[in-house]
Amino acid sequence: MDAHVGVTSIGVDGEQVDSVFATAKPEVILYEGTHFITSEQHYLKRQTVSVLEAVDSRRTALGPLVTARVLVRGKALLSGAATTGILRQHIEQLGSMGVDIAIVDGALSRLSLASPTVTDAMILATGAAVSANIKQLVSKTKFLYNLILLDEVSPDLRERLSNISTGLWAVDSEGEPHDLGIASVFLIDRAEKDILRFGKTLFASGAVSDRLLRVLATKGKDIILITRDFTKLFITPEAYTEFTRRGGKLMVLQRSRLIAVTLNPTSPQGFLLDSKSTCDALSEALQTPVYDVKKIVQ
C-alpha cells in the first residue's frame, strides 16, 4: 500500500525563476492524493485540481495558510509556516488527515526545523550553491555533517536538562544541574564566579556562538559543552577546532536522524560541478553515500 504524503516549505518553492538570482528553478509537481500546505496567494496560482481541506486562522504576508489535497496531478507553489511552532502544528494536522509522511523543504539559513523536536528525520542537501570549489564544498559539508552527528548525552541526563529553557548551567559529577546565573551565553565574559566550580560539564540551553567556545577554550582541558541539538550551534570551523584541540567536546541532548546526503551540482548562477567526482569526494570524506538529486529525478 502506497504511503500518503504531505508537503510544505519554510520558504517559497516551485517558482520558474529564482527571486534572488533570476535563474531557472525546478517547478514543484504534485501527484493525486498528495496533501500540501501553502499560502492563500500561492494556492490561487496552482495549476492543479485540488480540494481545500483546512484554512489556518493566522495570517501571513501572503494570506492565511491553507491545506489542500490534490485530485489531478499538476504544479503548485509552496510557502508554509514561518515558525517551528506553527510548523509542528501543521505536521500534526497532516497526520490527522491520514498523511503518513510529511516532507518539509528547508533552508540553510533556517536550520531550526531540522531539530529532532520538530521533525523525525532530515536530509542534508549540499551542492554548488555552497561552493563552486569541490575542496571547499567538501570541507563545509563535512563540518555541518559532523555537528549533526555529535554524541548524545545519556537518557537520564537528557531528562534532567530538557526542561531548562534559559541560561548557562553546570552539571556536577552526579549529573545534577546548577544554575550559573548567566542568563545568556553571550554574557559569559561578565561572569563574576568560576563557571567550572561544579565541574567541567556545562549545558547551554540556547544558542552557542564562537564567543562561548573561545572563552571555554581558555578555561582548561576536557571541558564538555552540551547543547540541545545541532541547530543551536552557530559556530565556525575555526572556533570549533580551537575548542576541540584543547580537549573540549560538544554533545547534544538529542541527535537529529540523518537519513541521506544529497548533491545538487548546479549553482543558482548556473555553474555546474562534475557530478561523479564531487559525489565521490563527498562520500569519501563523510564515509556515507551521496546522491545526485539531478540524476534521481531524471
Both 246 and 261 in a single domain?
no
Q: Percentage of the chain surpassing pLDDT 70?
A: 93
Both 20 and 104 in a single domain?
yes
Sign of dihedral through CA atoms 165, 255, 249, 160?
positive
> In whole angstroms, what is the distance from residue 86 CA to residue 4 CA?
21
Cross-strand bridge partners of residue 65:
39
Both 111 and 199 in a single domain?
no
Number of domains in the chain: 2
Both 90 and 234 in a single domain?
no
Q: Does 151 score more than 70 pLDDT?
A: yes
The boundaries of the domain holding residue 163 are 150-252
Both 269 and 201 in a single domain?
no
- The alpha helices in the chain, defined as continuous H runs, are 40-43, 84-96, 134-148, 155-161, 210-217, 237-245, 275-286, 293-296
Both 214 and 269 in a single domain?
no
Average pLDDT, the chain: 89
Here the cell at position 278 is 564531487
Residue with cell 509556516: 81
Both 237 and 98 in a single domain?
no
Cross-strand bridge partners of residue 152:
252
pLDDT digits (tens, 9 = 90+) for 71-124: 999 999 998 887 888 889 999 999 999 999 999 987 766 666 678 888 889 999
- The predicted model scores a pTM of 0.86
Task: Tell me the average pLDDT across 13-26.
Answer: 71
